[in-house]
Chain A
Amino acid sequence: MKPFTRLVARAAPLPRANIDTDQILPKQFLKTVEREGLARGLFYDFRFDGQGRPRPDFVLNQPRYEEAGILIAGDNFGCGSSREHAPWALMDFGLRCVIAPGFAEIFYNNCFQNGLLPVVLPAGEVQALTREVLDSDRPMTVDLEAQTVTSPSGRVLRFDIDADRRQKMLEGLDAIDETLVLAAAIEAYERDHEPRPAGTP
């Protein structure tokens, strides 16, 4: 996993609630057996019309957000299907951080598996940030070490994040490697709970 420490980037506003993972990456892009190359499907139906032509009014199609590294979204972002293809697509597109008033749980969890930082801020703050990035061409800073977001105008907002998750993201640790350190405990659990007839808890 890519470590995440500090990001200075332009933020793109997408102030809609309940953006589900099928809107983030529609189902026709799920047939791949690869992780890469999903950027082409990101927000496909927002970015393109029925004929596959870009919709100029969609935020990520606007030249000023071409290099955006941060997305500012509405509440319950990432609800719906558990597809990890959604965070893969966001990252493949160049986004490394999503700021929203709330995230759906499976999506939130999937972000941490991939080095995509989900930042939860109160709804009022998210609205204020949305207004600021609409009015300003200056970048924002997201500092995971300090747990702060610095708005284009320089306001510093603190965010909460679970200490374990923060640490792993800062270091880019591989969860499986870490778990395998506990292999003896897994074996002991299996010994204590088995042999049992197949299919029983």
Chain B
Amino acid sequence: MPGRTLYDKIWDSHVVAPAGADGGGDEMLLYIDLHLIHEVTTPQAFAGLKAAGRRVRRPDRTLAVADHNVPTEGQALGLEAVADDEARLQLRTLYRNAGAAGIELFPMGDVRNGIVHVVGPEQGRSQPGMTIVCGDSHTSTHGAFGALALGIGTSEVEHVLATQTLRQKKSRTLRVSLEGTPAPGVGAKDLALAVIGEIGAAGGTGHVIEFSGSAVRALSMEGRMTLCNLAIEAGARAGLVAPDETTFAYLRGRPAAPAGAAWDAALARWSGFRSDPDAVFDREVVIDAAEIAPLVTWGLSPEDVIAVTGRVPDPAGFADPAKRASAERALEYMGLAPGQPIAGVGVDVVFIGSCTNSRIEDFRAAAAILEGRRVAPHVRALAVPGSGLVKAQAEAEGLDAIFRAAGFEWREPGCSMCIAMNPDQLKPAERCASTSNRNFEGRQGRGGRTHLMSPVMAAAAAVAGRIADVREFGR
């Protein structure tokens, strides 16, 4: 019998019972170790529980944060800072529901609060070998710890609240090996965009991706989170990186991490969560990380990615008529011409934030580009830390001063312009260099044009006032 993959091992250790109709089929009931919740995808779930007279089974395995809707200014005022009545009601509903169920909540303004996928790891809640769910697609982020982390819908949120389990069928497995040493100026975001560009936005459908190879092992935990965060943009059910010394060093001493004898026991257990050498994957993709240039998206899907030195493709070159039609629409929406070099395209807004790139290393890297430089006069630039703790850390290191001196607005934590549910939005036809994860039509505001890129590339775009190659900003 061949060895088992990391995914198999997590799966096997969480099967509660077969859950198919009449106990048949291949649907399984999986135990869920950690359930992260936020204001947008939970009100209807709690309402459903209440209507059915059910209780939250394991409030101690659930953690609530306020992130999607929150304003990124004035958070110390609490809910008073939320100008939008509907958003305020939604946040208040979360506070009430969490309170009534005995679920720990980090309210807006609490230094521990922030984007759900930044907070879980930062608190040491996300750990190797776990099953983690959240009513949010980018839950895949937590796979960086070697945890099976799944985005779910609201009905499933209700199901997990009621039963602490999830009904699942096993996915296929895809190993993406990133080998070699990336060039200077190329980081985790570029690796992730390269993977999506290679396999396509639906390329991972039906699969759980395990990222491996020397370029992945060399990444910090924050880089691995960026990589796994974007697994969902390749269509995958989840992303995984096997835990190693980097993982353990990150977790050690975090508030929810085990300590003392429990730490040693946990290390022994965690070390087993890796694919056996003879494990067989359903698919394999190998990418040469040394060949990857800083990347930028040109279209309306994260798969529409090119090197910063590249040119906007000509839709006429796409053989598939559906692809051609969507490329034509994308160019029209984005206001770009076929064959136009992507570098030099002027930007109006720069956004450094989101669960993809709002951790301390992202701000350090961007600050290194911004130090002693100024944002171009016509550019509005926003820096939005992923959590209150990231913000505090950045301020302790003096990074906020660098961002401010450069002309960035230094904001309070939240999803902000990644989803534009709060007041941070693009206006129609505004062009944004963004470190977020989705360049979909209208994602950052109706009519807004998004170019996804890494934090250092966004910093370079802010200074140049146009899409620019960060490698020309060396020191």
1/0 per residue, CB under 8 A from B, across A164-201: the answer is: 10011000000110111011011001100100011111
A198-B60 contact in complex given A176-B52, A186-B31, C-beta closer than 8 Å: yes
Q: For A186, list chain B residues within 8 Å (CB).
A: 16, 29, 31, 57, 163-165
A200-B419 contact in complex given A23-B442, A45-B441, A179-B29, C-beta closer than 8 Å: no
Shortest distance in angstroms between A47's beta carbon and chain B's nearest beta carbon?
Answer: 13
Contacting B162 at CB < 8 Å: which of A15, A45, A74, A180? Answer: A180
Q: For A179, list chain B residues within 8 Å (CB).
A: 19, 29, 159, 162-163, 165, 167
Chain B residue nearest to A113 in the complex (CB): B155
Contact residues of B between 213 and 268, Cβ < 8 Å to A: 235, 237, 256-258, 262, 266
B285 within 8 A of A: no
Docked complex Cα distance between A75 and B322 (Å): 9
Shortest distance in angstroms between A122's beta carbon and chain B's nearest beta carbon?
Answer: 13
Most chain A Cβ neighbours within 10 Å, of B47, B202, B258, B266: B202
Q: Does A33 lie within 8 Å of B87, measured CB to CB? A: no
A3 within 8 A of B: no
Pick out which of these stretches binds chain A: B120-128, B378-386, B458-466.
B120-128
Shortest distance in angstroms between B119's beta carbon and chain A's nearest beta carbon?
Answer: 14
A83 within 8 A of B: yes
Shortest distance in angstroms between A107's beta carbon and chain B's nearest beta carbon?
Answer: 8
Q: For B69, list chain A residues within 8 Å (CB).
A: 31
Chain B residue nearest to A199 in the complex (CB): B256
Docked complex Cα distance between A35 and B47 (Å): 10
Q: Does B326 lie within 8 Å of A17, measured CB to CB? A: yes
Interface size for A (C-beta < 8 A) is 60
Q: For A76, list chain B residues within 8 Å (CB).
A: 201-202, 205, 235
Pair count A-B, CB < 8 A: 191
Q: Does B137 lie within 8 Å of A81, measured CB to CB? A: yes
Q: Does A185 lie within 8 Å of B17, measured CB to CB? A: yes
A162 within 8 A of B: yes
Q: Does B31 lie within 8 Å of A182, measured CB to CB? A: no
Chain B residue nearest to A174 in the complex (CB): B52
A84-B201 contact in complex given A23-B442, A106-B153, A175-B155, C-beta closer than 8 Å: no
Contact residues of B between 134 and 179, Cβ < 8 Å to A: 135-137, 147, 151-156, 158-159, 162-165, 167, 169
1/0 per residue, CB under 8 A from B, across A57-75: the answer is: 0000000000000000011
Most chain A Cβ neighbours within 10 Å, of B24, B33, B153, B158: B153
Q: Does A200 lie within 8 Å of B441, measured CB to CB? A: no
B84 within 8 A of A: yes
Docked complex Cα distance between A21 and B152 (Å): 14
Contacting B326 at CB < 8 Å: which of A18, A31, A87, A182? Answer: A18
B377 within 8 A of A: no
Shortest distance in angstroms between B451's beta carbon and chain A's nearest beta carbon?
Answer: 17
Counting contact residues on chain B (CB < 8 A from A), the size range is: 35 or more
Docked complex Cα distance between A180 and B19 (Å): 11
A31-B441 contact in complex given A80-B137, A175-B167, A179-B163, C-beta closer than 8 Å: no
B421 within 8 A of A: yes
Most chain A Cβ neighbours within 10 Å, of B54, B93, B124, B155: B155
B278 within 8 A of A: no
Q: Does B27 lie within 8 Å of A164, measured CB to CB? A: yes
Docked complex Cα distance between A198 and B61 (Å): 9
Contact residues of B between 282 and 310, Cβ < 8 Å to A: 300-301
Contact residues of A between 2 and 49, Cβ < 8 Å to B: 15-18, 20, 22-23, 26-28, 30-35, 45
Q: For B114, list chain A residues within 8 Å (CB).
A: none
Contacting B151 at CB < 8 Å: which of A33, A82, A102, A190? Answer: A82
Contact residues of B between 36 and 91, Cβ < 8 Å to A: 40-41, 43-44, 47, 52, 54, 57, 60, 68-69, 84, 86-87, 89-90
Most chain B Cβ neighbours within 10 Å, of A82, A189, A200: A82
**18 interchain pairs, CB-CB under 8 A:** A16-B325, A16-B326, A18-B202, A26-B446, A30-B421, A31-B84, A33-B43, A34-B43, A45-B446, A74-B322, A82-B135, A82-B136, A82-B153, A104-B202, A106-B153, A179-B163, A182-B29, A193-B31
Residues of A within 8 A of B (CB): 15-18, 20, 22-23, 26-28, 30-35, 45, 50, 74-76, 79-85, 87, 102, 104-106, 109-110, 113-114, 123, 162-164, 167-168, 175-176, 178-180, 182-183, 185-186, 189-190, 193, 197-201
Which 8 A-B pairs give the minimum distances between C-beta atoms? A113-B155, A31-B86, A33-B43, A84-B153, A110-B153, A199-B256, A201-B130, A185-B17
